[in-house]
């Protein structure tokens, strides 16, 4: 019962924290670019504003366009529930493992791409086609990178992977782990539409990937999509933070352990936000045709990670 309540609490926490993480990255980037920047909680105001706004939908849009934001949001939120955030093991672990997480995220991507095509605007189709190119190259890497961990843990269950790494700290520094971390980090950048793959801050329609798909959205639909995008970033941060560096995650449900888990989660999120902000400031956007090269490289890293884990098993 306590664990069930905790799973629910964990889900709510993730929903609440996600916009703040995006805001933190934006604020850090602004500081690094010599700008004052909006405060980290700005995305909350934006969500409230969008939920209060009227929805404008193209005459040419079908039911799919209206349904997609809910599918995207719910699938991403479901994936967020499955990811170890505060404590392991959770009862929900029985429902889904890493494969479920990966394909729940892909479900959202597919619906977003369909919704980009649906109203028939030139930018939407352009964004969808680019997003599918990126997704097709990124998705296998996500699965493969986590497989490298699953292989050493002997299970695809995310809770068990965390438990196994905690019981054997040396494994966190094994080549398999390190390579998998690098691969997942690169893929996280592509999947969440960040530099150098996509530029979340641009106003130039012709260069967009993620933003081009959602150009037609407004009001609560846009709010859901933005929130889902923030959730996706948090899911990847949680995967990177808790699967590879699991210390801090509560294994017993005592208030002290949970408080420590919360503090360590916030700390990990902050460290990753700084890493992303630094990276985004340091790099320029890749030429679109160079993106596959980057993603192939991360796939190779993931493959090496699996090989290494397999050999050292």
Partner 1 sequence: MSLPDALTTALAAAVPAARDVRVVRGRELHCTLPPDAVPALSRLLTGDLGAELRLMLASDRRAERGVFEAHYLFGRARADWFVHATAPLDAAAPAVRSLATRHYPASRFEREMADLFGIAAVGHPDPRPLVRHGFWPADWFPLRKDAGPREFHDDGQPFPFQQVGGEGVYEIPVGPVHAGVIEPGHFRFSVLGETIIDMKVRLYFTHKGTEKLFEGRRPADGVRLAERVSGDTTVGHALAFCQAVEAAAGVAAPARARWLRVVLLELERLYNHVGDVGMILNDTGFAVAHSHCFRIRERLLRLNKRVTGNRLLRGGLVPGGVTMEAPAGVDVAGEVDAAVRDFDEIVGLSLGNTLVADRLDGTGRLTLRTARDHGVLGPVARASGIDADVRRDHPFAAYAELAPRVVVHESGDARARTLVRVEEARESARLIRRALETLPAGPLAVEIDRLPAGGPAFSLVEGWRGAIVHWVLADETGALARVKVLDPSFLNWPALSYALLTNIVPDFPLCNKSFNQSYSGNDL
- The contact set with partner 1 (CB under 8 A) reads 29, 32-35, 122-123, 126, 195-196, 199, 201-207, 281-290
Closest to partner 1 by CB, 95 or 122: 122
- Chain centroid to Cα 25, Å, comes to 14
Alpha helices per DSSP H over 194-218: 210-213
Residue 206 is encoded by which pair of tokens? 């012709």
Closest to partner 1 by CB, 99 or 278: 278
Min CB(297)–partner 1 separation in Å? 14
Sequence-separated (6 or more) residues with CB below 8 Å from residue 266:
none
Min CB(187)–partner 1 separation in Å? 19
Rounded Cα distance, 101 and 88, in Å: 16
Min CB(305)–partner 1 separation in Å? 25
Alpha helices per DSSP H over the chain: 2-32, 42-51, 63-82, 98-117, 122-153, 158-167, 175-191, 210-213, 219-238, 244, 255-282, 291-311
Min CB(36)–partner 1 separation in Å? 11
Min CB(121)–partner 1 separation in Å? 10
Rounded Cα distance, 213 and 144, in Å: 27
Rounded Cα distance, 294 and 292, in Å: 5
Residue 280 is encoded by which pair of tokens? 């985004």
Closest to partner 1 by CB, 63 or 289: 289
Closest to partner 1 by CB, 36 or 313: 36
Min CB(126)–partner 1 separation in Å? 7
Closest to partner 1 by CB, 207 or 307: 207
Closest to partner 1 by CB, 287 or 313: 287
């Amino acid at each position: 019962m306590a664990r069930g309540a905790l799973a629910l609490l964990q889900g709510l926490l993730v929903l609440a924290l996600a916009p703040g993480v995006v805001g933190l990255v934006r604020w850090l980037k602004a500081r690094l670019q010599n700008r004052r920047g909006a405060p980290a909680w700005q995305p909350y105001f934006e969500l409230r504003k969008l939920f209060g706004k009227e929805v404008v939908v193209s005459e040419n849009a079908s039911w799919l366009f209206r349904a997609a934001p809910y599918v995207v949001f719910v699938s991403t939120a479901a994936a967020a529930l499955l990811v170890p955030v505060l404590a392991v093991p959770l009862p929900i672990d029985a429902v889904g493992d890493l494969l479920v997480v990966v394909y729940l995220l892909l479900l959202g991507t597919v619906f977003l791409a369909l919704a980009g095509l649906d109203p028939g605007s030139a930018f939407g189709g352009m964004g969808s086609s680019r997003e599918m190119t990126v997704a097709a190259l990124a998705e296998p890497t996500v699965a493969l990178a986590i497989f490298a961990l699953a292989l050493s843990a002997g299970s695809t269950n995310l809770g068990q992977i965390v438990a196994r790494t905690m019981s054997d700290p040396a494994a966190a520094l094994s080549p398999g782990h390190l390579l998998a971390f690098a691969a997942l980090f690169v893929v996280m950048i592509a999947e969440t539409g960040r530099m150098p793959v996509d530029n979340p801050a641009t106003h130039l329609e012709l260069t967009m990937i993620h933003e081009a798909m959602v150009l037609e959205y407004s009001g609560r639909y846009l709010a859901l999509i933005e929130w889902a995008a923030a959730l996706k970033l948090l899911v990847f941060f949680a995967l990177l933070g808790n699967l590879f560096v699991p210390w801090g995650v509560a294994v017993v449900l005592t208030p002290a352990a949970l408080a420590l888990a919360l503090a360590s989660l916030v700390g990990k999120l902050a460290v990753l936000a700084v890493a992303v902000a630094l990276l985004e400031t340091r790099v320029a956007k890749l030429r679109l045709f160079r993106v596959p090269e980057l993603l192939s490289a991360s796939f190779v890293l993931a493959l090496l990670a699996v090989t290494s884990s397999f050999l050292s098993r």
